[in-house]
Amino acid sequence: MQKKYKHSLLLLLITYHLSAQIKNDISGEINIDKKDEFITLRAIVENESLLFKDQLTYIFIAVKKEENGNYSNSKQTGAFSLKPQEESEQAIIRINLSDNEELRTYLFVKQKDKLISKDSIFINIKTAQKVTIQKEQDFVLKGIVVDEAFSKIGRDFHDFFYQQYLLSGKKYPFIIKIKEKPGMARSSILSVEIEDYKIHEFFSRPDEEYLKANVKLVLERISAYEKRRQTIYKNNK
C-alpha cells in the first residue's frame, strides 16, 4: 500500500505512525495529505488475499488538542466488503491544524466484530523547518471519548463528563462512548458504553446538577469497571 506525506516548510510536523496488522489479509492504514494548515486523513483498507471479504466494519476517529488545551473530535463508521486484492478508501477527515496544536487519529478495522487491523497517527505542529516521521509496531488507545449525542442536553452531558474526565488525570485504555436515543415525549435516553458494555443509562433532563450527578456516577462505574478488567487480565496471565 502506497503512503503519501506532503508538508510545507516553516512547520515542524512530528508524526508518530503506529500500526498493527493482526495476522490477517486485511490491512488498514491512515494516509496523510498536508497543505498549509489543512490536514486530510484518509482511511485506506486493502484486501491482500485472493478471496472476497465481507462483514467488515471500520471506526475512524480524529482527536484534536488546541493550543488552549480544549479538545474536539470527529468520528466516522461504516460497513463494507472487499473484492480480492482490492484497495478502498473508506473515509476522509479534513482538519485545520495550526501551530502548537496536536492531532491523534485512530483507525480500527473489524470483521464479524473482531479487530483485525488498526493504525494510529500522532501529529504535533511547531514552528521550524524540519519534518520528522517515526513509526512503531503497536499502540494502546487511551483517553478517547466519542460523542454520539444529538441534543443540546446530550452535548452538555458530554462536555461535563469530558471536563471531569480530564481533571481526574486518568486515561483508560478503551474508547468511552456517549450515546443518545429518543425517549418518551420530548425526552431522550443517554447511555455510556465501554467495549459494547453499557456502564450507565438514564433519561435526559435540562438540569445541570442532575447531569453532573450522573457524570459522577459514570466516572465511579468506569473506575470499578477498569479495576475488574485489570483483575481478569492478571488472572489470565
Quick one: pLDDT band at residue 215, thresholds 50, 70, 90? Answer: very high
Q: What confidence tier does 12 reach under pLDDT thresholds 50, 70, 90?
A: very low
pLDDT at 3 over 60: no
Q: What is the pLDDT of residue 11?
A: 42
CB 192 within 8 A of CB 200: yes
pLDDT average, residue stretch 228-234: 78
Residue 86 cell numbers, joined: 482490492
Task: Using a pLDDT cut of 90, give the percent of the chain over it.
Answer: 33
- For residue 171, how many other CB atoms are within 10 A of its CB? 12
Q: Does the structure show a pLDDT above 90 at 208?
A: yes
Q: Measure the CA–CA gap between 160 and 218, rounded to whole angstroms.
A: 11
- The residue ranking higher by pLDDT, 200 or 172, is 200
Q: How far is CA 229 from CA 140, 143, 145, 196, 234, in A?
A: 15, 16, 18, 14, 9
Query: Where do the domains of the chain lie, and which CATH numbers do they carry?
Result: 12-136 (2.60.40.2420), 145-235 (3.30.160)
- Amino acid letter, 231: T
Is-contact 60 72, C-beta < 8 A? no
What number is the average pLDDT over the span 184-207? 89
Strand partners for 123:
15, 103
Which band of pLDDT confidence, cut at 50, 70 and 90, is reported for residue 97?
confident
Quick one: pLDDT band at residue 126, thresholds 50, 70, 90?
A: low
- Show Cβ contacts of residue 190 under 8 Å, excluding neighbours closer than 6 positions: 149, 153, 154, 157, 178, 179, 180, 201, 202, 203, 204, 214
* 3-state SS track over 166-213: HHHCCCCCCCEEEEEEECCCCCEEEEEEECCEEEEEEECCCCHHHHHH
- The answer to whether 169 and 50 have CB atoms below 8 angstroms apart is no
- Section 194-210 average pLDDT: 91
